[in-house]
Amino acid sequence: MRQLTEEETKTLFSKLKLILGDNIRHLIDRPDEDYVFRLQENKVYYMSKGVLDLCQLIGREELFSAGICFGNFTKSGKFKIHITALPYLAKYTKYKVWVKPGGEQVFLYGNHVLKTHVARMTEGVPQYEGVVVFSMNDVPLGFGVAARSTEQSLKLQPHDIVVFNHSDLGAYIRTVEEKQADY
């Protein structure tokens, strides 16, 4: 595992800032322990300094992963956030969208959130800002980008898109099924 370069750090934080806004500081300035981001084979892991110290006792080839995988860098240098980062995104996000029980399954199948599925939405969500999608029981289901602002979404037709789906909890099951179909 190695530290991120300055360019990689800027790319990571610009992507996280899309969803977390100014709350991104809560990931680094934690009261319990110091946390860091480290890179291993194009994947970015978020871990405490204690876990990092333990990782240094293991050789690079033997270490598969450590901490929480926040995402990976693509070959073109862009950063893609993984669904494994959802607990932290849900905890520190600035903007939230709650979907009705009927819309949960539709979202978990990889579809966008439509106006008919929205139960409520944080006030003041700007257009194209990152949001975390929750069930009515406050269970985080995934994250995406607001297709419309809060004010615009009030005037939409029932089948217009409110949130573009970037990742959801159903993504893991869909990728496992795809891999099994390849065999």
Q: Is pLDDT at 45 greater than 80 in this prediction?
A: yes
Domain-embedded: residue 180: no
Share of the chain above pLDDT 70, in %: 95
96 and 139 in contact (C-beta within 8 Å)? no
Please identify, among 55, 84, 113, the residue that sits at the C-terminal boundary of a domain: 84
Q: Residue 38's domain spans which residues?
A: 2-84
Q: Is residue 146 part of a domain?
A: yes
Domain match, 150 and 131 both: yes
Q: pLDDT of 46-105, one tens digit each? A: 998 888 878 777 777 777 778 899 999 999 989 999 999 999 999 999 999 999 999 999
Q: Are residues 170 and 99 part of one domain?
A: yes
Please say which residue of 35, 65, 84 terminates a domain: 84
pTM of the predicted structure, to 2 decimals: 0.86
Instruction: Kindly state whether residue 127 falls inside one of the protein's structural domains.
Output: yes
pLDDT band at 183; cut points 50, 70, 90:
low
CATH of the domain at 71: 3.10.450.220
Q: 80 and 8: one domain?
A: yes
pLDDT number for residue 40: 86
Collapse the DSSP code of 168 into the 3-class scheme (helix H, G, I; strand E, B; otherwise coil) and give the result. Answer: strand
User: What's the DSSP call for residue 1?
Assistant: -
The answer on 11 and 70 residing in a single domain is yes
Band (172; pLDDT cuts 50, 70, 90): confident
In a domain? residue 89: no
Structure token pair of residue 149: 């602002």
Sequence-separated (6 or more) residues with CB below 8 Å from residue 39: 1, 2, 3, 4, 8, 45, 73
Asked whether residue 73 falls in the same domain as residue 16, the answer is yes
Number of domains in the chain: 2
| Triad 91, 102, 20: Cα angle to 5° | 20
22 is a domain residue? yes
Residue 131 domain-assigned (yes or no) = yes
Q: In this structure, are 78 and 11 located in the same domain?
A: yes
Residue where a domain stops, chosen among 65, 84, 103? 84
* CA–CA distance, 158 with 24 (Å, rounded to integer): 33
- Which token pair is 151? 């004010």
CATH number of residue 148's parent domain: 2.30.130.10
Same-domain status, 69 and 106 = no
DSSP state of 21: G
Task: Locate 179 and state its tokens.
Answer: 């891999």
